[in-house]
């Protein structure tokens, strides 16, 4: 079966041909989709040199646990947790039930990557988004259950209400500029309800200017007519739908997760009414019985 210009696939049940090969980043969803703190595609990272010094080791363990595409998020987590200067650089001791700062730097990075991968797996099972995973790195996996029961999508309001419930409503002064801007400078006395906001300030949201669009398009068209291969994600294997999306966006400097569901989870959801001419749009299939999304393809409208 050949990839042409627009491609759709649905859990191995059927594959439809592309009529306009262009790949996707924005996911169309319901008009009611809203709330603060929705999903964003994180294209880059801006962290200190102290944090970047840990990148080689972080890459090693991210690769070991299959989460290389989240490297920039992990770097931002290190920036928030320690600024790259503490021994327990990812502050991951507590995820093992140990006192804070119990781990060496390498042990901390290994455990931090392992824990993040476990949270990602749990989020995929529950249908939660990437920001829910990021907040859960601070709160613990129980937050994923909470989000799953309240719409499956992170919002700051959910993070706030979770901390309020866990703290019994106890507030403490918190003078981080993010908090001061948000509520005048306080948080609930459980974890850090601002965690996603703290991490995301070091992440660059992907921007789709003409140069980026051109880079994606040029890469995508190299593979026009190639055979569809389930599980394929590189020119050496050929591609399936989400593999092709990940590869082409990666060539434009935008890191996407591997699977269709994960790509749906980390993209920004907009109503169809907000779609723009010459824009990209992901068209996921929705299986009513399982609430799963299977892309992928996009059109370049006029």
Task: Sketch the domain layout of the chain as residue ranges.
Answer: 8-33+207-294, 42-166+192-203
Assign a CATH topology to domain 42-166+192-203.
Answer: Lysozyme (1.10.530)
- What pLDDT, on the 0 to 100 scale, is given for residue 5? 38
User: Per CATH, the architecture of 8-33+207-294 is what?
Assistant: Alpha-Beta Complex (3.90)
Q: Which is higher by pLDDT, 22 or 279? A: 279
Q: Which is higher by pLDDT, 234 or 207? A: 234
Span 165-194, average pLDDT: 96
Q: How far is CA 219 from the centre of its chain?
A: 23
Helix axes 105-126 and 130-139, enclosed angle (nearest 10): 130
Chain segment 108-164, per-residue pLDDT in tens? 999 999 999 999 999 999 999 999 999 999 999 999 999 999 999 999 999 999 999
Quick check: 90 and 78 in contact, CB under 8 A? yes
Span 173-187, average pLDDT: 96
Span 202-221, average pLDDT: 75
Span 265-287, average pLDDT: 59
Chain segment 27-79, per-residue pLDDT in tens? 333 333 444 444 555 667 889 999 999 999 999 999 999 998 899 999 999 99
């Amino acid at each position: 079966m050949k990839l042409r210009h627009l491609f759709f696939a649905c859990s191995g049940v059927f594959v439809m041909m592309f009529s306009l090969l262009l790949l996707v980043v924005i996911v169309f969803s319901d008009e009611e989709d809203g709330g603060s703190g929705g999903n964003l595609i994180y294209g880059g990272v801006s962290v200190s040199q102290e944090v970047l010094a840990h990148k080689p080791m972080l890459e090693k363990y991210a690769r070991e646990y299959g989460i290389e595409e989240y490297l920039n998020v992990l770097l931002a987590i290190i920036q928030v947790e320690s600024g790259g200067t503490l021994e327990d650089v990812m502050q991951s001791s507590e995820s093992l039930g140990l006192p804070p700062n119990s781990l060496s730097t390498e042990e901390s990075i290994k455990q931090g990557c392992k824990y993040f991968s476990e949270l990602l797996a749990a989020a995929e099972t529950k249908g939660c988004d990437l920001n829910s995973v990021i907040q859960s790195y601070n709160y613990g996996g129980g937050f994923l259950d909470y989000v799953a029961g309240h719409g499956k999508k992170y919002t700051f309001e959910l993070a706030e209400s979770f901390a309020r419930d866990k703290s019994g409503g106890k507030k403490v002064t918190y003078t981080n500029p993010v908090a001061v801007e948000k509520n005048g400078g306080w948080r609930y006395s459980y974890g850090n309800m601002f965690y996603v906001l703290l991490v995301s300030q070091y992440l660059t949201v992907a921007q789709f200017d003409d140069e980026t669009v051109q880079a994606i398009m040029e890469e995508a068209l190299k593979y026009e007519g190639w055979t569809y291969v389930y599980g394929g994600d590189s020119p050496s294997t050929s591609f399936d739908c989400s593999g092709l999306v990940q590869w082409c966006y990666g060539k434009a400097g935008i890191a996407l997760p591997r699977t269709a569901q994960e790509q749906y989870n980390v993209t920004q959801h907009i109503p169809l009414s907000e779609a723009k001419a010459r824009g990209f749009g992901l068209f996921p299939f929705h299986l009513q019985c399982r609430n799963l999304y299977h892309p992928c393809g996009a059109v370049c409208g006029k």
